């Protein structure tokens, strides 16, 4: 009997002779049953070059038994036993999902809240192919700065690194990671064999996935990208369907995965004229996924701020790309989307931080210095939504992590500050403050964000008059903090309690957290 820790990923191998048949077209599934009755049913296997693999992750301690099923006799009827023991990795918490008590927030299956702080690194797969050791060092660096989710492509082909160089923004070859060394199908991107997957590509991606899983880093995996010149199979062919089922089969045992139909999915809408193809891909993903991972679609339609398309409605959470011009507008848009969707809301690519060394990467109307990007990030959180950060020199196929921007420490401080609040229980409601933005668990905890600094007044009518309140201010551009204790004003007159800025420079953007009864009082 194989001993496996809870939430770990283990592979079971199967061997058979298929003769002239395409082994990628041979189907095998398995069912794993826990001794107390829980079942993981119709878990699909996948062909791995010289064998088939059933990849399993036990979510409950105890004994699991598995059995394979296939029309091919050599793959049918294999049996396995797994002794699942306690999880010893403090960074791993099971399957990322929706908080069952707060449906617009994320949580792990073990009940741990998940504060999504995304880091877009679309070509991480290609970076790993070229230099895995350096890739891991930089994954660790990003994680140390508070980011806990990589938004990344399964595959992309071209980017800025493949464009002609110029003298204004030179790029050294060691920082160019596109086109990737390996195509995900056999053949090449120019002359593909869409009937067969490139096993070397997927085995390399397996190693990256295992590393990220062990670190407890969520992988927001964009299964296709529609604007990077990838030679995908023809739409709605058997080869196309097989690709989607294969990717889901190979990576669904990793509890840290979120499926995304594809980056820039608005281009599928332009190409197809409707959402039918995206909706069909969503159906394929869900049918192939025995674990029930979260599923979303990035940027379904262009210029769709404030609206919900049919793919948005059928997603487990909304992933959009909305570009605005100031913190207040980002906050209002996030509140509106949360009100309309009833699910979590993530704004991916809301702004592009200018790197310290400017390479030939993307420039848009919301390309900005780091302080503006940070201010917009806080505004999204103050609505109760989630952001995904974009840094010019790490988001495309030109990847250069050094020099490490000082701004990344501000995200570590942001994450630590929010970790002290009951974020999943809080609701964006700016009516609580005379000026600024507010996220509140009425009567228990409040987050007030002042993008222009200064003082404000807050409505604490839900708080008992004699209750002590712990207060902590943080200047978001420097990390400077100031802590104190207070009680609400005894006189009720609307915004009845002053929040007086403690910093010497009162005009700098800042946040203030209020814990009614003290920090330890919130459960």
Query: Which 8-state DSSP code applies to residue 398?
Result: B
More confident residue, 488 or 30: 30
- Does the pTM exceed 0.85? yes
d(CA 375, CA 509): 8
pLDDT at 388 over 70: yes
Q: What is the mean pLDDT of residues 431-449?
A: 97
My answer on whether 76 and 114 are in the same domain is no
Nearest to 120 by CA among 141, 149, 148, 151: 151
At residue 39, the pLDDT reads 98
My answer on whether 74 and 134 are in the same domain is no
Q: Residue 264: which region, alpha, beta or left (left: phi > 0; alpha: psi -120 to 50)?
A: left
My answer on whether 168 and 282 are in the same domain is yes
Q: What is the mean pLDDT of residues 390-397?
A: 95
* Domain edge (last residue) among 61, 85, 109: 85
* 3-state class (DSSP) for residue 40: strand
Q: What is the mean pLDDT of residues 97-112?
A: 98
Q: pLDDT tens digits, residue range 276-315? A: 999 999 999 999 999 999 999 999 987 777 789 999 999 9
Tokens 């195509």 — which residue? 183
* Domain edge (last residue) among 419, 441, 464: 419
At residue 170, the pLDDT reads 64
Which stretches does DSSP call E strand in 321-405?
345-348, 352-353, 367-368, 386-389
My answer on whether 370 and 454 are in the same domain is no
Note whether residue 91 is domain-resident: no
Q: Which residues of 55-77 are buried (b: 16+ CB within 10 A; e: fewer)?
A: bbbbbeeeebebebebebeebee
pLDDT at 209 over 80: yes
Q: pLDDT tens digits, residue range 343-362? A: 999 999 999 999 988 888 88
d(CA 439, CA 133): 41
Q: What is the mean pLDDT of residues 67-95?
A: 97
Note whether residue 199 is domain-resident: yes
Q: How confident is the model at residue 166 (pLDDT cuts 50, 70, 90)?
A: low
Beta-carbon count within 10 A of 403 CB: 10
d(CA 338, CA 347): 11
pLDDT at 65 over 60: yes
At residue 437, the pLDDT reads 98
My answer on whether 35 and 137 are in the same domain is no
Q: How confident is the model at residue 172 (pLDDT cuts 50, 70, 90)?
A: confident
Q: How confident is the model at residue 318 (pLDDT cuts 50, 70, 90)?
A: very high
Q: What is the mean pLDDT of residues 31-59?
A: 97
At residue 41, the pLDDT reads 97
pLDDT at 490 over 80: no
Domain encompassing residue 436? 425-521
Helix or strand (DSSP H, E) at 284: helix 276-288
Phi and psi at residue 403, in whole multiples of 5°? -70, 145
Q: Environment class of residue 456 by beta-carbon count within 10 Å: exposed (0-12), middle (13-18) or buried (19+)?
A: buried
pLDDT at 191 over 80: yes
Query: By percentage, how much of the chain surpasses pLDDT 90?
Result: 86
Note whether residue 90 is domain-resident: no
Question: Tell me, what CATH number does 77's domain have?
Answer: 2.60.40.10
* Domain edge (last residue) among 23, 58, 85: 85
| Average pLDDT of the chain to the nearest whole number | 94
At residue 358, the pLDDT reads 81
Structural domains of the chain, count: 3
Question: Tell me, what CATH number does 402's domain have?
Answer: 3.20.20.80
d(CA 110, CA 117): 19
Q: pLDDT tens digits, residue range 1-29? A: 899 999 999 999 999 999 999 999 999 99
30 - beta bridge partners? 43, 68
My answer on whether 410 and 299 are in the same domain is yes
At residue 494, the pLDDT reads 53
Q: pLDDT tens digits, residue range 376-385? A: 999 999 999 9
At residue 8, the pLDDT reads 98
My answer on whether 77 and 107 are in the same domain is no
d(CA 403, CA 266): 34
């Amino acid at each position: 009997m194989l001993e496996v820790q809870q939430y770990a990923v283990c592979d079971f191998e199967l061997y058979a002779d298929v003769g002239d048949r395409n082994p990628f077209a041979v189907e095998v599934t398995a069912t794993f049953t826990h001794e107390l009755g829980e079942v993981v049913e119709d878990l699909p296997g996948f062909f791995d070059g010289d064998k088939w693999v059933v990849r399993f992750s036990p979510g409950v301690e105890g004994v699991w038994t598995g059995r394979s099923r296939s029309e091919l006799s050599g793959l049918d009827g294999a049996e396995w036993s797994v002794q699942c023991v306690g999880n010893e990795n403090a960074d791993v918490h099971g399957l990322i999902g929706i908080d069952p008590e707060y449906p617009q927030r994320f949580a792990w299956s073990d009940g741990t809240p998940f504060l999504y702080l995304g880091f877009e690194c679309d070509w991480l797969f290609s970076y790993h192919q070229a230099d895995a050791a350096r890739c891991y060092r930089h994954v660790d660096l990003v994680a140390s700065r508070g980011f806990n989710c990589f938004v990344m492509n399964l595959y992309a082909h071209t980017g800025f690194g493949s464009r002609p160089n110029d003298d204004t923004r030179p790029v050294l070859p060691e920082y160019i990671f596109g086109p990737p060394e390996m195509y995900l199908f056999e053949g090449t991107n120019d002359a593909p064999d869409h009937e067969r997957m490139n096993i070397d590509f997927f085995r390399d991606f397996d190693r990256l996935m295992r590393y990220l899983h062990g670190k407890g880093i969520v992988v927001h995996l964009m299964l296709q990208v529609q604007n990077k010149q990838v030679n995908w199979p023809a739409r709605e062919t058997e080869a196309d369907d097989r690709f989607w089922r294969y990717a889901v089969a190979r990576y669904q045992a990793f509890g840290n995965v979120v499926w995304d139909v594809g980056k820039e999915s608005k281009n599928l809408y332009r190409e197809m004229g409707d959402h039918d193809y995206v909706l069909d891909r969503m159906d394929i993903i869900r049918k192939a996924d025995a674990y029930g991972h979260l599923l979303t679609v990035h940027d379904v339609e262009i210029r769709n701020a404030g609206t919900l398309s049919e793919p948005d409605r059928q997603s487990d959470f909304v992933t959009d790309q909305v570009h605005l011009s100031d913190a207040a507008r980002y906050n209002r848009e996030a509140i509106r989307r949360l009100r309309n969707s009833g699910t979590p809301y993530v704004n991916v690519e809301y702004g592009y931080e200018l790197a310290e060394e400017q390479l030939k990467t993307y420039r848009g109307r919301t390309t900005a210095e780091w302080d503006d990007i940070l201010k917009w990030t806080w505004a999204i959180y103050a609505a109760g939504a989630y952001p995904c950060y974009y840094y010019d020199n790490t988001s495309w196929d030109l990847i250069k992590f050094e020099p490490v921007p000082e701004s990344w420490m501000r995200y570590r401080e942001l994450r630590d500050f929010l970790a002290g609040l009951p974020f999943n229980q809080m609701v964006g409601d700016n009516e609580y403050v005379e000026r600024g933005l507010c996220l509140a668990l009425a009567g228990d905890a409040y987050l007030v964000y002042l993008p222009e600094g200064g003082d404000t007044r807050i409505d604490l009518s839900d708080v008992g008059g004699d209750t002590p309140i712990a207060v902590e201010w943080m200047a978001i551009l420097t990390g400077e903090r100031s802590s104190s204790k207070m009680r609400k004003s005894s006189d009720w007159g609307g915004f009845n309690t002053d929040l007086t800025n403690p910093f010497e420079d009162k005009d700098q953007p800042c946040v203030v957290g209020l814990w009614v009864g003290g920090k330890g009082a919130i459960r």
